[in-house]
Amino acid sequence: MNSSNNDKKWFYLASGLVGLLTTNFIYEKASAAIKSKKAAKEQEKTGQDGLSPTKSPELPLLEQPKLTMNKYQTSFKPQNIYKICLTGGPCAGKTTAMTHISERLREMGIRVYIVPEAATLVANGGGLIDVGKMNTHQRIKLQSVIIKYIMDMEDHFVNLAALSDNPTETAVVLCDRGAMDPSAYMKQQEWHALLDEYGWNTVNLRDKRYDGVVHLVTAADGAEEFYSLANNQARYESTVELAKEIDKKLRDAWVGHPQFVIVNNDFKEFNDKVRKVYSTVLHMIGRPQEAPKFYKKYLLEREKEGGIPKLPEDPNMRVEVFTMDDTYLECADPRIEEKIRKRGQKDSFSYTHSITVYDHDFVHAANYTNDGIETKKQITAREYLFLIERKDKTRVTLDKLRQCFIWEGQHYFIDTFRNVGGAFSLLMIEKGKDVQKLNLPPFIKIKKDVTDLREASSFELAKVTNKDVDLYSVLKL
């Protein structure tokens, strides 16, 4: 009995020590985020392009709360390493984008590691094979080898990134394609057979391995005159039509990832596309330059009897559905909003810990502004259980259903709130997209833009006192 108690004591002591380091890192990062936002405003005033690093104005660090070594303050993996996957169809500009991103991040003092494309390495090693000419058994075998190769390389680079004298130093692992990409080169039943054979599942391969996924659309879709196979011998997409088909399958493979962004070809110059990818990665690692928030929110027309929006059963439209529990945590600093999320699909779950930092007291501010800077990290189930003990007792855990889909190349997701606000749904669209110019799906009926309305913010809706308030009535709709 005494031995068991001693084991627990040492476990909580070790957990607390790691937790102190982790929490210090989080608050230092929060302060850096505020500095970054101020610097971005200064860049806008001086006409700089925002791509080159600039010295941030000196700001006081956020006041750190008094810390105690409680069992929920723990982390068993490096919280300062971000793994970002860049994927996309052939001739999409991934190589150029990765070079640009790595150079700029290194100029900012961030360590960058690049995981090379496994398929290209296989081809360069003599394994150039046209999967279209293979039988089912051969395709499953080949793609399983490539997936294991991908995961091994990623894990090794993450371990290398963790070898730092400074445990709070930020590192980014850029992955040239990811573990879901091989599914685009297989039939659906073959992919399911592969998952079953190796004991893998989509949530683990897609959602848990990467902090963010950026899909660059092939030049064959929107920039046909620039489509070429000359710079990568691992490609076999000989026609524009085949390239478009593969690109769509790759997009569908990643639909549902918590931070999935599609970068298409509606830019005047290719360099603008590269800058968009770079800006997206900055958002994903908590270093935004201009628009802090990633999405705009639109309240949808009320469904009959408070139901869930029903999406059409279209074989050409991939839909992924998730349950989500959002729990806000107690935080002493009124400039910080802290939240954990449990996200489930088919009895598999992923967990995230997010911190949104404002440059003002957003809790008590008279004028609500949706301009916080969010940093989001994946955590383990055990870390989630530790953190949930810090639950804000003045707020309920939000019960949401998320539907993710792609319509005409645009990524959408709909969140249905099931236990607050009289049951309603919000459509999320990437910030920067003009909803008036988008060809919205005919089954989407927008009621009101609620991006900057405090009443429609999850933080406000989660208040225990607002649990039974009808959002449509509050907004006089």
Are the CB atoms for 57 and 199 separated by under 8 Å? no
Give the residue, 129 or 249, on which the prediction is more confident. Answer: 249
pLDDT of residue 17: 43
Whether residue 368 is contained in a domain is answered as: yes
Question: pLDDT at residue 20 above 50?
Answer: no
| Structure confidence at residue 222 as a pLDDT band (50, 70, 90) | confident
Q: Which two tokens stand for residue 159?
A: 């371990």
Same domain, 393 and 422: yes
Question: pLDDT at residue 220 above 90?
Answer: no
Same domain, 345 and 395: yes
Instruction: Give the chain's largest Cα–Cα span.
Output: 74
Same domain, 125 and 226: yes
Residue type, 225: E
Phi, psi of 28 (to 5 degrees): -65, -40
DSSP states of 414-445 as a string?
EEEESSSTTSEEEEEEETT--TTTS---TT--
Same domain, 136 and 206: yes
Same domain, 201 and 332: no
Total structural domains within the chain:
2
User: For residues 182 and 195, what is the distance between their CA atoms, to the nearest angstrom?
Assistant: 12
pLDDT of residue 314: 85
pLDDT of residue 41: 52
Question: pLDDT at residue 316 above 50?
Answer: yes
| Structure confidence at residue 215 as a pLDDT band (50, 70, 90) | very high
DSSP states of 232-267 as a string?
-TT----SHHHHHHHHHHHHHHHTT-TTEEEE-S-S
pLDDT of residue 36: 55
Tell me what the mean pLDDT of segment 116-130 comes to: 79
Are the CB atoms for 53 and 108 separated by under 8 Å? yes
pLDDT of residue 237: 53
Question: pLDDT at residue 429 above 70?
Answer: yes
The residues, any chain, with a CB within 8 Å of residue 259's CB and separated by 6 or more, are 211, 212, 213, 284, 376
Tens-place pLDDT, residues 43-97: 544 444 444 443 333 333 343 333 333 333 333 346 689 999 999 988 888 888 9
Average per-residue pLDDT for the chain: 79
User: For residues 13 and 70, what is the distance between their CA atoms, to the nearest angstrom?
Assistant: 8
pLDDT of residue 79: 67
pLDDT of residue 289: 55
Residue matched to tokens 């609620």: 450
Q: Which among 258, 284, 310 is the end of a domain?
A: 284
User: For residues 292 and 356, what is the distance between their CA atoms, to the nearest angstrom?
Assistant: 10
Exposure on the CB side of residue 391, measured as CA atoms within 13 A: 18
Same domain, 393 and 433: yes
Q: Put residue 121 in one of left, alpha, beta given phi > 0 → left and psi -120 to 50 → alpha.
A: alpha
Tens-place pLDDT, residues 261-288: 999 888 888 888 998 899 899 888 877 6
Same domain, 312 and 339: yes
CATH number of the domain to which 134 belongs: 3.40.50.300
Whether residue 29 is contained in a domain is answered as: no
| Structure confidence at residue 209 as a pLDDT band (50, 70, 90) | very high
From first CA to last CA, the distance across the chain in angstroms is 62
Laid out side by side, the sheet with 111-115 consists of 111-115, 171-176, 81-88, 212-216, 260-263
Highest mean pLDDT among 63-72, 191-200, 466-475: 191-200
Are the CB atoms for 390 and 329 separated by under 8 Å? yes
pLDDT of residue 37: 54
Lowest average pLDDT, out of 54-63, 138-147, 182-191, 361-370, goes to 54-63
Same domain, 279 and 365: no
pLDDT of residue 49: 44
Question: How far is residue 228 from each of residues 124, 188, 237, 243, 295, measured CA to CA in Å?
Answer: 19, 28, 10, 10, 33
Q: How far is CA 465 from the centre of its chain?
A: 31
Tell me what the mean pLDDT of segment 232-248 comes to: 74
pLDDT of residue 391: 96
Q: Which among 251, 284, 317 is the end of a domain?
A: 284
pLDDT of residue 356: 84
pLDDT of residue 473: 87
Beta strands 295-300; 410-417: pairing state: unpaired
Question: pLDDT at residue 221 above 60?
Answer: yes
Are the CB atoms for 348 and 23 separated by under 8 Å? no
Q: What is the CA radius of gyration of the chain?
A: 23
Same domain, 331 and 280: no
Same domain, 278 and 160: yes
| Structure confidence at residue 157 as a pLDDT band (50, 70, 90) | very high
Helix and strand counts by DSSP (H, E) for the chain? 11, 14
Lowest average pLDDT, out of 146-160, 198-212, 235-249, 333-347, goes to 235-249
Look at the alpha carbons of 237, 243, 249, 255 in this order and tell me if their dihedral is positive or negative.
Answer: positive
pLDDT of residue 286: 78
Residue 250: domain span: 81-284
Are the CB atoms for 15 and 23 separated by under 8 Å? no
Tell me what the mean pLDDT of segment 108-118 comes to: 90
Tell me what the mean pLDDT of segment 390-411 comes to: 91
The residues, any chain, with a CB within 8 Å of residue 344's CB and separated by 6 or more, are 322, 323, 324
Are the CB atoms for 331 and 339 separated by under 8 Å? no
Whether residue 343 is contained in a domain is answered as: yes
Percentage of the chain beyond pLDDT 90 is 34
Same domain, 267 and 303: no
User: For residues 32 and 39, what is the distance between their CA atoms, to the nearest angstrom?
Assistant: 10
The beta strand positions in 243-383, using DSSP E, are 260-263, 295-300, 319-328, 336-345, 348-357, 373-379
Same domain, 276 and 304: no
CATH number of the domain to which 376 belongs: 2.40.320.10
Are the CB atoms for 418 and 400 separated by under 8 Å? yes
Here the contacts of 222-226 (C-beta below 8 Å, separation 24 or greater) are 222/264, 222/265, 222/266, 223/265, 223/270, 226/91, 226/270
Neighbour tally for 377: CB within 10 Å: 23
User: For residues 168 and 170, what is the distance between their CA atoms, to the nearest angstrom?
Assistant: 6
Whether residue 19 is contained in a domain is answered as: no
Tell me what the mean pLDDT of segment 371-382 comes to: 81
Percentage of the chain beyond pLDDT 70 is 75
Tell me what the mean pLDDT of segment 380-408 comes to: 92
